[in-house]
């Protein structure tokens, strides 16, 4: 049976999973647009959340803040990004999380992308990775590290040189792939040929057109992603699935039901 869930508020991710009939919850440990944190809001703190989630059979995933960019040549962003990513990984281990998701980041338009790939390798070298670190493909940016399949291959080649490479995996987002210009049909095979693994799927429809570069999620049936492509991704990736769509419990439950139906059909 496909393990599924949603991105939810972190106050009680176990109750959020139960409300959606889900087996996992993904959440931020603090403000995703700020450098503060991580903070565990669950009553009783990290130890209680870990114990209660294990008792309920709910897997937990932590999404790192959007502000992090370990690829950049800007020292004022790159160095704090590495430090904060380590804090996220440490906090995630304390709550027993199954992984930490972080965006692939980018370098400036005037930079050589190779510098960004090497910055990723250096970051992986220096991190203590007690739970899997899952790099997510992104929708926009001309000099993004993980928007296009060729860049993903270069990123993976750089990371593979790190002794910590086996602790790094992939989170594949369908909205980001569509908006980033990657066809969904056949995408799992193309990614697996590079990475050998897909650890998590973010299954989201896209409000915007193919290759728009716009990261705007919507509910299934209301966007522009190829439904057959999304269905193929969730059916063949062999990974848990998270929806990051609007509508709260009602909207996300409907999306999870759609995913379950196409996964069963596949």
Which pLDDT score is estimated for 266? 67
Whether residue 266 is contained in a domain is answered as: no
CA distances from 205 to 91, 210, 222, 226, 237 (A): 30, 11, 7, 9, 17
Whether residue 213 is contained in a domain is answered as: yes
**CATH of residue 36:** 3.20.20.150
Whole-model pTM over 0.95: yes
Whether residue 264 is contained in a domain is answered as: no
How is 151-182 classified by DSSP, letter by letter?
Answer: HHHHHHHHHTTSTTGGGEEEEEEHHHHHHHT-
Per-block mean pLDDT, blocks of 10 residues, the chain (266 long): 96 98 98 94 97 98 98 97 98 98 96 97 98 97 94 98 97 98 98 98 98 97 97 98 98 98 83
Whether residue 262 is contained in a domain is answered as: no
Whether residue 37 is contained in a domain is answered as: yes
Q: Say how many domains are in the chain.
A: 1
Whether residue 259 is contained in a domain is answered as: no
Residues 6+ apart with CB under 8 A from 152: 104, 137, 146, 191, 194, 195
Which pLDDT score is estimated for 168? 98
Q: What is the domain range of residue 133?
A: 4-53+63-254
Whether residue 28 is contained in a domain is answered as: yes
Whether residue 58 is contained in a domain is answered as: no
């Amino acid at each position: 049976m496909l393990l599924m869930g949603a991105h939810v508020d972190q106050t009680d991710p176990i109750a959020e999973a139960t409300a959606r009939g889900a087996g996992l919850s993904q959440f931020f440990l603090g403000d995703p647009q700020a450098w503060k944190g991580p903070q565990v809001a669950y009553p009783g703190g990290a130890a209680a959340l870990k114990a209660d989630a294990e008792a309920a059979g709910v897997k937990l995933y932590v999404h790192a803040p959007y502000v992090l960019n370990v690829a950049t040549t800007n020292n004022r962003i790159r160095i704090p990004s590495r430090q904060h990513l380590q804090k996220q990984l440490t906090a995630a281990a304390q709550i027993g999380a199954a992984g930490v998701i972080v965006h692939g980041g980018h370098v400036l338009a005037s930079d050589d992308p190779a510098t960004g790939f090497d910055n990723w390798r250096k970051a992986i070298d220096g991190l203590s990775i007690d739970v899997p670190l899952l790099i997510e493909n992104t929708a926009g940016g001309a000099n993004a590290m993980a928007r296009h399949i060729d860049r993903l291959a270069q990123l993976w080649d750089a990371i593979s040189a790190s002794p910590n490479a086996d602790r790094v995996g992939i989170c594949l987002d369908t909205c980001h792939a569509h908006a980033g210009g990657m066809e969904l049909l056949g995408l799992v095979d193309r990614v697996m040929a590079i990475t050998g693994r897909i650890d998590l799927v973010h299954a989201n429809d896209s409000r915007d057109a193919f290759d728009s570069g716009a990261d705007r999620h919507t509910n299934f049936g209301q966007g522009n992603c190829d439904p057959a492509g999304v269905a193929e991704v969730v059916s063949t990736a062999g990974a848990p699935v998270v929806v990051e769509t609007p509508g709260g419990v009602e909207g996300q439950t409907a999306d999870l039901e759609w995913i379950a139906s196409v996964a069963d059909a596949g």
